Amino acid sequence: MTSRIRSLAAAAAVGLLLTATAGCSTFSSSGRYKYQHAEGGQPSVSGTPTDGAKASAKPVLPYDIRPLLKPEKKYFGVSLPGFPASMQPLQTYASLVGKKPDMVETYAAWGDQFESQQVQDTWDYGAMSFIAWEPMKKSLADIAAGKDDAYIHQFAQSVAALNLPVAISFAHEMNGFWYPWGTKKATPQQFVSAWKHVHDVFAEEGATQVIWVWSPNVIGPMKSVRLKPFWPGDAYVDWIGVIGYYGLDGPHTYKTLYGPTMDEVRGFTKKPFIIAETASEGRTRKPADIDDLFQGTAKRSDVVGFIWFDYNKETDWRVDSSSAAAAEFRRQAAGKAYGVDVRKP
Amino acid sequence: MSDWRPPRSGAQEQRGRSQPSWAVNGPDDRPAPEPEPGYQAPQYAYEEAPPAYGYAETFTPPSPSYTDDPYGESAPGAGPSAGEEYPRAPYYDQAVSGAYGTHEQAAPVDTYALDEPDAGYAVYEAESVPPGYVLPDVPESAWSFDARRSVRLGRILLACLLLVQAVLSLRLRGTAFEDEALYIASGHYELANVLHGTPVPVDFGAYFSGYPKFYPVLAASVDSHFGLTGVRVVSLFFMLGTTGLLYAMTRRMFNVRAALGAAALFCGLQSTLYLGNFATYDAPALFLLALSAWLVVRTGRSNMAFVLLAAPPAALACGVKYAAALYMPTLVVLAVLTAYRHRGWRSLLRGVVLGAAIAALLGLGLKLAGSLGGISGTTTNRAHGTDSALRMLQDSANWGGLLFLAALGGSIAYGLRARMGEMPWIGNATPGPLRRVSLGVLLTGTALLAPAYQIHLGTEISLYKHVGFGLLFAAPMAGLGLARLVGPHFRNPQLGIILFVATLTFGMVQSHEEYSFPNSKPMVAYLRTVVNHKGIYLAEEQEVPAYYLRDVTGWNQWQTTFLMDYQAKDGKHYSGPAAFSAAVRDAHFDVIELHGGVTPDADQAVTDALKGNPHYRLTAVIPYTTSSGTSAFRIWVKQ
């Protein structure tokens, strides 16, 4: 009897030992990391594979920006001083115009980090970030040659990691001469090469959450500069972000201000437009300009919206530069055509 | 001397004395080795009075007289008197007589016979004064002899090994591998065809490596109720059954210790652990091979006709997975070598009977199944690859080298000596040298079949699984080798432990290394948002999304990246990578998913065609990590 118990105890001990051995790690720390990353990294949802993997919540899928490319309503965007340092200007603007902006444009110098928190805050507010990325310190040729790839990769990784939609306009107003990447400092070929290179790095990093905005200035001031040479191709662009202001002089109707540019663009692409920067300088005419902007955008099905440049810079572009303008803006903004729910476009 | 007496167990108190179980239950309960055909155990009976064991307390002679009186309570010389027949122990007759011959030759017994007067004093002391120390019961035989106790212990240890195997297999995690997805998905279509006559979307038999109405249908049936996990658990049962049959087969051929060794080494192999959680043909095919092999060995001492029992599982194994046919010669030769009741041509006849039965069943099956293009495409006439023989040998050695070396050692040791010598008196009850050497060569050599065949084909595809088929046959010899390594009376247990632990460690690490494929969960979740029942989708390893998304898409909506013929919009006909390029340029696909590595030529063609292609937008890049490194699913959607 005793011997049998002893045998059983020994067998049980061996079994326990073997089981314990089975549970022991056979990985190095790096191997364990890889294993865990591979095994437990992606959770499951109903209707998706769940077998043999750790049960957890919804999988984190890359944000599909396609519904945002041409939503039913028009984007009602703004660019404001004091933002993104504070959300207060945005809230003040919203109360002024009576509608929450659904797109907020900011400017990022070449070399700046991607402001994930700012984009997140904007998204939480209910708006999409629109970043005008300005290659002030690096030539387009160098960018195209990959000399700043580390920075671009890092930026793209941050975008992918945040996994929220963001519109990026790289080297806007490239057809003008006033910026370091303008016609005086770079050729259209260099611009296209740089654009494609930046785009490809983002694709390589899996930063598919970007809406690429090719943003020329309206052609009025530079009638001799053709746009097509600057065009990277439909595969590289989502929106044509036309920039044009209602000035005191020059064209100041939707048709005359944007029409020629849009017509020329339609010669090589059917991508939708967005008025990427606009405002009115006109003093007494400002309410009319505002009316023209809202109505013109609403009438064109290939224009997805506009972004109001609400700065007092060089001149007072702000909505509330006059009470009449503010009232008209408020009245127009109340229209059903404007205001995209970016979460459910 | 005090009056103290050693405590007795309850059973001892009841019986009044300690007796071995066989002495209580009768001689028929005692297991005994089956003798070699023609072997006659010499009949032994005491013709004279056996010696008196006055020093019974301190000596354990291999005699029933001791067990009759373990405490020396009998009077000196209490054995049968001269002329009486000593109480016979059949076991003793059979086991002891082989070595000791007759009673007169039992030298150790005579050594302790008490002829001198002084001995009586000692006995008197023992009777009047309780001894200070009494030896416990000593088993009649060494553990190498399969007494009932050792068999029971062996089964307990086998259960532990199976537990370890199950735990290590279930530790492996992952979404469906391409092959699993293919077989289960096809099984659903085949099942619908069987039950409702629904046409199958493609002729799976034309390119499957097993009959599509066997395992796939079983897998799909299980999948319908329990999902992929259920199908994998079925594989686990098959693999646990394989280990169990290996144990039974090895025990039948050798002994419990070798059987445990075989099971221990086999259960920790990379291929065993992998296949135990892998929903493909392999596990059931391996189980059926093991079943057939066990039946061959189990019926070795039976009428020759009983070997026919091994034919159906063998033939079925070939049907389940065509490559199992590679091991039919091994089964046939095993039938010859384990024909213990026969020698010469009659043992050969046993093999012929089995071979003919298997061939007949396979012929019948082939006739019923009709044309199976998959047999040649995947097995007999597989496309030759460019993988190097050295690489395949290295990998095979990594995966099964330890077991193979153990089998080699076991074969050599077995060829040299049939038994370890723990119980030399049963040394004659073993096969002869020719049969032993042949058995070692056959079983150990079978481990080389899969690597040799794949080296011939020049492809390493699935070798990590196939290597396990041969190792199943080599495992009995490896078990024997492990038992010999440990040595008689467990002289070197540390060597056996080292071998087992090393095998287990290699198996654990390698199975994790191999069982590492892209986690398709997020990829499938994303695809679910962009597919419908109308679109055409190009996917690398398309079987995976086709399986998971079979509720919203049909099998033929998914285009593989392995091959393609395409009639382009320009009117030209393309095939191979050019077909993919043309189709992408024409925006033929609604969604494209690539993850690289499986079909590099097609991937490159598609990627090049996508560059600057306005029809497609890269909408998702989903990274994943496997043991090969980090990569990503890249998904383009037509815009």
B596 pLDDT tier (thresholds 50, 70, 90): confident
* Mean pLDDT, chain B, whole residue set: 81
Question: B203 Cβ partners below 8 Å, 6+ apart?
Answer: B373
% of chain A surpassing 70 pLDDT: 83
Q: With respect to residue B389, please indicate whether it lies within any of the assigned structural domains.
A: no
Question: A136 Cβ partners below 8 Å, 6+ apart?
Answer: A109, A110, A180
Rg (CA), chain A: 27
Task: For residue B517, give how far its alpha carbon lies from the nearest alpha carbon of chain A (Å).
Answer: 9
Q: Of A199, A109, A125, give the one whose Cα is nearest residue A164.
A: A125
Query: Does residue B453 register a pLDDT over 70?
Result: yes
Q: With respect to residue B136, please indicate whether it lies within any of the assigned structural domains.
A: no
Lowest mean pLDDT among B13-17, B581-585, B630-634: B13-17
Q: With respect to residue B138, please indicate whether it lies within any of the assigned structural domains.
A: no
Asked whether the beta carbons of residue B164 and residue A233 sit closer than 8 angstroms, the reply is no
- Same-domain status, B618 and B530: yes
- Same-domain status, B51 and B122: yes
Rg (CA), chain B: 32
% of chain A surpassing 90 pLDDT: 75
> What count of other Cβ atoms lies within 10 Å of the Cβ of residue A138?
16
On whether any CB of chain A is under 8 Å from the CB of B612, the answer is yes
Query: Does residue B412 register a pLDDT over 70?
Result: yes
Asked whether the beta carbons of residue A22 and residue B168 sit closer than 8 angstroms, the reply is yes
pLDDT per residue over B418-442, tens digit each? 887 776 665 556 788 899 999 999 9
Report the chain A residue with the minimal C-alpha distance to residue B520: A49
| DSSP structure class, residue B252 | H
In the structure encoding, which two tokens stand for residue B307, read together? Answer: 């070997």
Q: Which of residues 79-138 of B touch A (CB under 8 A)?
A: 136-137
What is the homologous superfamily of the domain A71-333 according to CATH?
Glycosidases (3.20.20.80)
| Spatial distance between the Cα atoms of B472 and B485, rounded to a whole number of angstroms | 20
Query: Does residue B49 register a pLDDT over 60?
Result: no
Query: Does residue B112 register a pLDDT over 90?
Result: no
Query: Does residue B90 register a pLDDT over 50?
Result: no
Task: For residue B245, give how far its alpha carbon lies from the nearest alpha carbon of chain A (Å).
Answer: 20
For range B575-592, the mean pLDDT: 96
- Same-domain status, B502 and B554: no
- Same-domain status, B89 and B185: no
Instruction: Report domain extents, chain A.
Output: 34-63, 71-333
Identify which of A204-218, B124-138, B486-500 has the greatest average pLDDT: A204-218
Report the chain A residue with the minimal C-alpha distance to residue B551: A47
| Residue B381, pLDDT score | 64
Report the chain A residue with the minimal C-alpha distance to residue B626: A38
Identify which of A280-289, B77-86, B114-123, B611-620 has the greatest average pLDDT: B611-620
Enzyme catalytic residues of A: 173, 277
Asked whether the beta carbons of residue B227 and residue A50 sit closer than 8 angstroms, the reply is yes
Task: For residue A59, give how far its alpha carbon lies from the nearest alpha carbon of chain B (Å).
Answer: 6
For range A301-325, the mean pLDDT: 93
| Residue B415, pLDDT score | 94
Lowest mean pLDDT among B7-11, B298-302, B308-312, B398-402: B7-11
On whether any CB of chain A is under 8 Å from the CB of B172, the answer is yes
| Residue B461, pLDDT score | 87
For range A317-338, the mean pLDDT: 94
CA atoms within 13 A on the CB side of A219: 15
- Same-domain status, B42 and B70: yes
The C-alpha angle with vertex B627 and arms to B624 and B630, in degrees rounded to 5, equals: 35
User: Chain A interface, mutation test: which of B153, B164, B170, B624, most A Cβ atoms within 10 Å?
Assistant: B164
The answer to whether B155 and A11 have CB atoms below 8 angstroms apart is no
pLDDT per residue over B525-561, tens digit each? 999 999 999 999 999 999 999 999 999 999 999 999 9
% of chain B surpassing 90 pLDDT: 63
Choose one of B89, B113, B128: the last residue of a domain. Answer: B128
Report the chain A residue with the minimal C-alpha distance to residue B620: A62
| DSSP structure class, residue B379 | I
- Same-domain status, B539 and B478: no
**Environment class of residue B401 by beta-carbon count within 10 Å: exposed (0-12), middle (13-18) or buried (19+)?**
middle
Report the chain A residue with the minimal C-alpha distance to residue B552: A47
Chain B CB contacts of A160 under 8 Å are 621
Q: With respect to residue B298, please indicate whether it lies within any of the assigned structural domains.
A: yes
| Residue B488, pLDDT score | 86
The answer to whether B68 and B15 have CB atoms below 8 angstroms apart is no
| Spatial distance between the Cα atoms of B438 and B449, rounded to a whole number of angstroms | 16
- Same-domain status, B478 and B535: no
Q: Of A143, A153, A133, A236, give the one whose Cα is nearest residue A191.
A: A143
Q: Which amino acid is at A10?
A: A
pLDDT per residue over A249-268, tens digit each? 888 899 999 999 999 999 99
Task: For residue A136, give how far its alpha carbon lies from the nearest alpha carbon of chain B (Å).
Answer: 27
B362 pLDDT tier (thresholds 50, 70, 90): very high
Which residue stretches of B304-388 are H helix? Answer: 311-320, 328-337, 345-369, 373-375
- Same-domain status, B297 and B444: yes
Asked whether the beta carbons of residue B11 and residue A1 sit closer than 8 angstroms, the reply is yes
Q: With respect to residue B334, please indicate whether it lies within any of the assigned structural domains.
A: yes
Identify which of A22-31, A153-162, B62-71 has the greatest average pLDDT: A153-162
| Spatial distance between the Cα atoms of A307 and A317, rounded to a whole number of angstroms | 12
On whether any CB of chain A is under 8 Å from the CB of B24, the answer is no
Query: Does residue B399 register a pLDDT over 70?
Result: yes
Chain A CB contacts of B622 under 8 Å are 42, 61-62, 206
Report the chain A residue with the minimal C-alpha distance to residue B150: A7
Query: Does residue B29 register a pLDDT over 90?
Result: no
Report the chain B residue with the minimal C-alpha distance to residue A233: B612
Phi, psi of A112, rounded to the nearest 5 degrees: -70, 150
Q: Which amino acid is at B264?
A: A
Chain B CB contacts of A41 under 8 Å are 519, 624-625
On whether any CB of chain A is under 8 Å from the CB of B632, the answer is yes
Task: For residue B221, give how far its alpha carbon lies from the nearest alpha carbon of chain A (Å).
Answer: 16
On whether any CB of chain A is under 8 Å from the CB of B32, the answer is no
What CATH number did the domain enclosing B621 receive?
3.40.190
User: Chain B interface, mutation test: which of A2, A7, A18, most B Cβ atoms within 10 Å?
Assistant: A18
Q: With respect to residue B148, please indicate whether it lies within any of the assigned structural domains.
A: no
Chain A CB contacts of B163 under 8 Å are 15, 18-19
| Spatial distance between the Cα atoms of A2 and B580, rounded to a whole number of angstroms | 74
Query: Does residue B62 register a pLDDT over 90?
Result: no
- Same-domain status, B326 and B208: yes
Between the alpha carbon of residue B223 and those of residues A302, B193, B311, the distances in Å are 49, 16, 29
Asked whether the beta carbons of residue B173 and residue A45 sit closer than 8 angstroms, the reply is no
| Spatial distance between the Cα atoms of B243 and B160, rounded to a whole number of angstroms | 12
| Spatial distance between the Cα atoms of B265 and B500, rounded to a whole number of angstroms | 6
Asked whether the beta carbons of residue A42 and residue B621 sit closer than 8 angstroms, the reply is no
- Structure-model confidence comparison of residues B340 and A284, the more confident one: A284
Among left, alpha and beta (phi > 0; psi -120 to 50; other), residue B629 is: left
Query: Does residue A71 register a pLDDT over 70?
Result: yes
Asked whether the beta carbons of residue B277 and residue A53 sit closer than 8 angstroms, the reply is no
Choose one of B128, B163, B193: the last residue of a domain. Answer: B128
- Same-domain status, B371 and B460: yes
- Same-domain status, B432 and B539: no
Asked whether the beta carbons of residue B136 and residue A41 sit closer than 8 angstroms, the reply is no
Q: Which domain holds residue B101?
A: 10-128
Task: For residue A44, give how far its alpha carbon lies from the nearest alpha carbon of chain B (Å).
Answer: 6
| DSSP structure class, residue B424 | G
Chain A CB contacts of B160 under 8 Å are 11, 14-15, 18-19
Chain A CB contacts of B136 under 8 Å are 3
On whether any CB of chain A is under 8 Å from the CB of B173, the answer is yes
Query: Does residue B7 register a pLDDT over 50?
Result: no
Q: With respect to residue B121, please indicate whether it lies within any of the assigned structural domains.
A: yes
Task: For residue B626, give how far its alpha carbon lies from the nearest alpha carbon of chain A (Å).
Answer: 6
User: Chain A interface, mutation test: which of B160, B273, B553, most A Cβ atoms within 10 Å?
Assistant: B160
Query: Does residue B48 register a pLDDT over 50?
Result: no
Choose one of B445, B480, B514: the last residue of a domain. Answer: B514
- SS3 sequence, chain A? CHHHHHHHHHHHHHHHHHHHHHHCCCCCHHHHHHHHHHHHCCCCCCCCCCCCCCCCCCCCCCCCCHHHHCCCCEEEEEECCCCCCCCHHHHHHHHHHCCCCCEEEEEEECCCCCCHHHHHHHHHHCCEEEEEEECCCCCHHHHHCCCCHHHHHHHHHHHHHHCCCEEEEECCCCCCCCCCCCCCCCCHHHHHHHHHHHHHHHHHCCCCCEEEEECCECCHHHCCCCCHHHCCCHHHCCEEEEECCECCCCCCCHHHHHHHHHHHHCCCCCCCEEEEEECECCCCCHHHHHHHHHHHHHHCCCEEEEEEECCEECEECCHHHCHHHHHHHHHHHCCCCECCCCCCC
State pTM to two decimals.
Answer: 0.78
For range B314-336, the mean pLDDT: 96
Q: How many CB pairs under 8 A join A and B?
A: 160
Chain A CB contacts of B625 under 8 Å are 34, 37-38, 41
What's the total number of domains in chain B? 3
Task: For residue A97, give how far its alpha carbon lies from the nearest alpha carbon of chain B (Å).
Answer: 35
Give the one of A14, A19, A51 whose C-beta lies nearest to B175's C-beta: A51
| Residue A282, pLDDT score | 75
Asked whether the beta carbons of residue B149 and residue A22 sit closer than 8 angstroms, the reply is no
Report the chain A residue with the minimal C-alpha distance to residue B136: A3
- SS3 sequence, B82-146? CCCCCCCCHHHHHHHHHHHCCHHHCHHHHHCCCCCHHHHHHHHHHHHCCCCCCCCCCCCCCCCCC
- Same-domain status, B532 and B465: no
| Residue B130, pLDDT score | 77
| DSSP structure class, residue B488 | G
On whether any CB of chain A is under 8 Å from the CB of B162, the answer is no
Query: Does residue B52 register a pLDDT over 50?
Result: no
Give the one of B9, B551, B616 whose C-beta lies nearest to A1's C-beta: B9
The answer to whether A69 and A239 have CB atoms below 8 angstroms apart is yes
Query: Does residue B1 register a pLDDT over 60?
Result: no
Give the one of A1, A41, A49 whose C-beta lies nearest to B524's C-beta: A49
Task: For residue B354, give how far its alpha carbon lies from the nearest alpha carbon of chain A (Å).
Answer: 39
% of chain B surpassing 70 pLDDT: 75
| Spatial distance between the Cα atoms of A1 and B10, rounded to a whole number of angstroms | 9
